[in-house]
Amino acid sequence: MLAKTLRNPLFWLCLIGLALASVLPLWVSGYILGLLTVAYYFGVFSMAWDLLFGFAGEVNFGPTFLIGLGAYTAGILNGHGVGIPLCLLAGTVAAVIGGLVLALPALRVRGPYFGLTTVVAVLILQNLIVVFADTTGGEIGLTVPDVISIDAATNYWIALGFMGVSGLILYAIAVSPVGLILQASGQDPVEAGALGFNVAKHKLAAFCVSAVFSGLAGALFVFYMGTASVGTLVDVSVGVQVIIGAVLGGRRTIVGGVLGAVFLIAAGELLRPLGSLSTFVVSAAALAVILFVPAGLLGILTRQGRHA
């Protein structure tokens, strides 16, 4: 296993990328660090989504349901005087519980119905946030009293470290026997079941793992931003960005989600002078990569795109 990992060019590519990223605070501005910090959290969102879709084959159109649960739970508790560590734990637990409540009935359906169920869950969460505006801040947003740090470099290193650990754990799961079962279940659940694998159990486990990282990343993101709102965390358009980041970076690669998220954040910022046209340009570029290089940006870097 170790020898195979050391021979994998993706391992060395990730190692070099993390090494270079770790020294960026020494020579780039706080503004760039802020953009990358946001991109790293979105990278975790995309990696968690890729485990469920890329391997388990379940189209989750509502990743922001789990992200929002983790973020708002942590933010609301912090507003009532609870410390950041406990808020992070509570946000993660809330995402897992919410994920179980959603997944148990949703995994009983197949095809597009699972995806539609996740979209409805996001819409319900949005409405609950608005209805209970006294607690959640409603459409205005929720401001949290505490932040992890006011130093850009510290926030950057925390996001980078969290992203690195998350990627390592998720990738280890993906290449483990569990990941292979998930992949087989996603490609042909009937045949996988005939071989004796409990497809529903493994997919439920994948959903819970995805919920853990989505909820914790959402909670951390709140304490970085200092605020939570529907438009930045729960909106369907945010979920679309998470999905595009995962597919653009490279489906069924886990770590490709980071590359896709960084590309989307960086491209959107560089093209900001174009105004509303910037969204069209970034979307067109992403669509071109998805259509013509199925292996994604990571496939291009590892010279695998031509063999996809």
Q: What is the pLDDT of residues 71-82, one digit of tens each?
A: 999 999 999 999
For the purposes of burial, counting CB atoms within 10 Å of the CB of 205, is it exposed (0-12), middle (13-18) or buried (19 or more)?
middle
CB distance 52 to 60 below 8 Å: yes
Task: Say if 18 falls within a structural domain.
Answer: no
Query: Chain-wide mean pLDDT for the chain?
Result: 87
The residue ranking higher by pLDDT, 172 or 33, is 33
Helix (H) or strand (E) holding 91: helix 84-106
Task: Say if 270 falls within a structural domain.
Answer: no
The residue ranking higher by pLDDT, 66 or 1, is 66
Task: Say if 199 falls within a structural domain.
Answer: yes
Task: Say if 289 falls within a structural domain.
Answer: no
Task: Say if 19 falls within a structural domain.
Answer: no
End-to-end CA distance of the chain: 24
pLDDT at 183: 78
Is the predicted pLDDT of residue 305 greater than 60, yes or no? no
Q: How confident is the model at residue 272 (pLDDT cuts 50, 70, 90)?
A: confident
Quote the domain boundaries for residue 137.
Answer: 29-234
Task: Say if 22 falls within a structural domain.
Answer: no
pLDDT at 303: 62
Task: Say if 37 falls within a structural domain.
Answer: yes
DSSP string, 255-300: THHHHHHHHHHHHHHHTGGGTTHHHHHHHHHHHHHHHH-TTHHHHH
Tokens of 239: 């979920």
- Prediction pTM value: 0.91
Report percent pLDDT > 90 for the chain.
52
Q: What is the pLDDT of residues 130-176, one digit of tens each?
A: 999 999 999 899 999 999 999 999 999 999 999 999 999 998 888 88
CB atoms within 10 A of CB 305: 18
Task: Say if 187 falls within a structural domain.
Answer: yes
Could you give the number of structural domains in the chain?
Answer: 1
CB distance 122 to 236 below 8 Å: yes
